[in-house]
Structures are given as C-alpha cells and as structure tokens.
A = this chain, B = another copy of it.
C-alpha cells in the first residue's frame, strides 16, 4: 500500500481541522474593541490548539519519513489519531466559550491525552513492523517527550479543578516541549545514508 495517499488523506484532515477551528471564533455583534476583547479566551484556546495540530502534522511528517510500508493496522491507528484530533475544534470552542471553566478545561486535556495515546499506538505499530533494530526505534531513543507529556496532561486535568488558568499553562508547556522538531529521526536517517 502506497505511502502517498496515506499522507495526502492525513494532510487533508489535519489541514481542515486546523482551519475549521477558526469557525469557533465567532464574529462579535458589536464593532468596538471591547466586543473583540471579550473573545480573548476563545482566541487563546485557538492559538494553543493551532500549535498542537501544527506539532502533530510536523511529527506525522517525520514519523512517515522513517516508514516505508503502510499496513492495514497503521491505517486504522492513523484514523484513530485523526478521530481524537477532530474533536479538538469542539473541545477548543467549549473551553474558550466557558472562559477556561473546570469541566471544559479537563475535557480539553482529556482529548489531548487520547490523541497522545493514539500517537503512541501508531508509533508502536510502525516500530514493531521495522523490528527492534529499525531506524525509528533507534531514532526515538528513550522517547522522553512521549513519556513526559501524558504526565503534564494528567496534571492539567487535575489542575482544571483547582486554579483557573493552571491547566492551560500545563497544556502550553507540553506543547512547547514538542515545538522543537524531532531531530532524532532526522539524525538517524542521515546517519543511515552515510553508512550506505
């Protein structure tokens, strides 16, 4: 099964998710700066979600770069990931419109958590196909980012019920950790090239 259409479909869905989120930023009725300013929680939520979808697209790009064959299992693991990411516009809108209230903030963290778990499943499936000595396994190394971020999501979910804004800070920190593109995969791939 070709990698091309797999990437094209994922790119399509991610591009639509990232753009559809902006529809939650509803045009205010008034034409004053005050009317616009009231939108700040929705806007901030949009910024966080935009960064997350950007990160997922970026890493998806890297992950598939290190993949040669696409199995049926990977296809469904990918659809599962896209499913959870497709809930992000909803979770973003709900969190923003309720000014970072406890339940919506926790639900937002829950969606991020499910997406992270789905990501691990997809990654594991690809690693398993390549074997323990495969390019991707070596590239991932200890995968500390993959281990730290779920902890931050859980911390964010708990924090949602304590201090307003603390959960959002957690989610933002988890995003910033990932913001730096994953050079490990690039490095190992470059190494591979030299070896041949």
Which residues from B are CB-within-8-Å of A181?
72, 75-76
Q: A15-B12, A22-B89, A86-B50 are in contact. Are A58 and B31 (CB under 8 A)?
A: no
Do the beta carbons of A18 and B86 come within 8 Å of each other? Answer: yes
Q: Number of contact residues on A: which range applies?
A: 35 or more
Choose from B5, B12, B14, B57 the contact partner of A61 (Cβ within 8 Å): B5
Q: A36-B103, A75-B58 are in contact. Are A50 and B83 (CB under 8 A)?
A: yes
Q: A11-B8, A16-B15, A22-B87 are in contact. Are A76 and B54 (CB under 8 A)?
A: yes
A interface residues (Cβ-Cβ under 8 A, vs B): 1-2, 5, 7-9, 11-20, 22-25, 27-28, 31-33, 36, 47, 50, 54, 57-58, 61-62, 65, 72, 75-76, 79, 82-83, 86-87, 89-90, 93-94, 97-98, 101-104, 107, 179-181, 183, 186
Give 24 pairs: A residue, B residue, CB < 8 Å, sorted on A.
Answer: A1-B61, A1-B62, A5-B11, A8-B11, A9-B14, A12-B16, A13-B15, A13-B19, A16-B19, A19-B86, A20-B22, A20-B23, A23-B89, A24-B27, A25-B87, A25-B90, A27-B94, A31-B102, A31-B104, A36-B107, A54-B76, A72-B183, A75-B181, A76-B181
